[in-house]
Amino acid sequence: MQTMKMGNNEVVLLGTAMPPVLPEGSHVMTGTVELPPGDPGSPPHRHSGPVFGYMLEGEMIFELEGEPERVIKAGEAFWEPGGDVIHYQAANNLPDRTTKFLAVMVCAPNQEMLVFVSPEELEQRKDRRAPRPN
């Protein structure tokens, strides 16, 4: 983490990303997501635009296409590019506590924010998924 000054305020930089160019007419949605203890989260899906998040409470197992799954803990930031990339997991890693995160989602014009991926497409793209942990 990096700290910087903005006028009289101190800002703690949690992460940076270079998102794709946003098409004209895109809109942004901000909300919180709560996952009950042990919840597997949404089935594999994709977002029409980039998503930026910040873990407020708990731990989440996070997995994007082409990347190994990882655990994001409270106080950490994450992002995903959206578009064609499959988001495999956003699961609560804790069996006994709720996990909660803030999400800022950019929605491409005239597209749904979240689209589930069919079993057929998952099979066609299985070579793009990082090896599963044992």
**What's the CATH code of the domain at 118?**
2.60.120.10
Q: What is the pLDDT of residues 2-36, one digit of tens each?
A: 787 777 778 887 777 777 777 788 889 999 999 99
Question: Could you give the number of structural domains in the chain?
Answer: 1
Q: What residues make up the domain containing 124? A: 27-128
Q: What is the pLDDT of residues 78-106, one digit of tens each?
A: 999 999 999 999 999 999 999 999 999 99
Residue 22, domain member (yes or no):
no
> In angstroms, rounded to a whole number, what is the distance separating the alpha carbons of residues 13 and 92?
25
Residue 13, domain member (yes or no):
no
**What's the pTM value of the predicted model, to 2 decimals?**
0.84
Closest listed residue to residue 45, CA positions, set 131, 111, 133, 132: 111
